[in-house]
Amino acid sequence: MSRRLIIVSLCLFALTLSAVSQTKKSTMKKAAAPAPPDKAFLQKIWDGWGTLNPDNVAQYYASGPNTFFDIAPLKYASWDEYENGVKATLADYKSAKFTLNDDTTIHPQGDSAWVTATVAFEMTHKSGKVDMGNMRWTAILENQNGKWMLVHEHVSVPMQ
């Protein structure tokens, strides 16, 4: 074989490997993140809490070991813990309404987003007593399989 034929063959082989490599890279790209969560999406979460039934918000919370801080008790180490623990607190109420205030800020960062807001609340106890005020909300959402899921949440009420 002539030297020229060997060089041409090696060049064609290198080009073929390069093309195959590029094809694999392009098919291995991660699926694009959905549009960042917006205020309407976040309000849906709070509307779900307004039903006083954690089953109506479970779709927004990631499973597994995630930390959620609520007004009481101090913290939950997973959605399962949160869902079970909050039922006792909500059992004392007959209705609730939560509204995101205008200070809601969403910070998208690729496959995650963090949110800060204050939330106006009006909760009516079964006894008829009404609690009203504003609470703080900080949340971290993560794109999991094309869906925004809460992986961390902190809810607190200012001390009075």
Per-residue model confidence (pLDDT) at position 70: 85
What is the average per-residue pLDDT within 78-82? 92
**54 pairs with which residues across the strands?**
none
What is the average per-residue pLDDT within 104-109? 97
Q: Phi-psi category of 146—alpha, beta or left, where left has phi over 0 and alpha has psi -120 to 50?
A: left
Do 54 and 106 share a domain, yes or no?
yes
CATH code for the domain in which residue 133 is found: 3.10.450.50
Per-residue model confidence (pLDDT) at position 158: 86
Give CA–CA dist 125/110, Å, rounded.
41
Residue 27 confidence class, pLDDT cut points 50, 70, 90: very low
List CB contacts of 96: < 8 A, sequence separation 6 or more. Answer: 49, 50, 51, 52, 90, 121, 122, 123, 124
Sequence letter at residue 64: G
Please, what is the average pLDDT of the chain?
Answer: 85
List the single range of 11-15, 88-92, 127-131, 147-151 with lowest mean pLDDT.
11-15
Do 80 and 52 share a domain, yes or no?
yes
What is the average per-residue pLDDT within 22-28? 44
Domain range enclosing 19: 1-30
Do 107 and 136 share a domain, yes or no?
yes
Sequence letter at residue 84: N
Do 92 and 125 share a domain, yes or no?
yes
Per-residue model confidence (pLDDT) at position 121: 97
List CB contacts of 68: < 8 A, sequence separation 6 or more. Answer: 61, 75, 76, 79, 82, 150, 152, 153, 154
Could you tell me where the DSSP H helices lie in the chain?
Answer: 3-27, 39-50, 79-90
Per-residue model confidence (pLDDT) at position 126: 97
Do 103 and 147 share a domain, yes or no?
yes
Per-residue model confidence (pLDDT) at position 125: 97
Do 8 and 60 share a domain, yes or no?
no
Do 13 and 73 share a domain, yes or no?
no
pTM of the model: 0.78
Provide the domain count of the chain. Answer: 2
Do 74 and 113 share a domain, yes or no?
yes
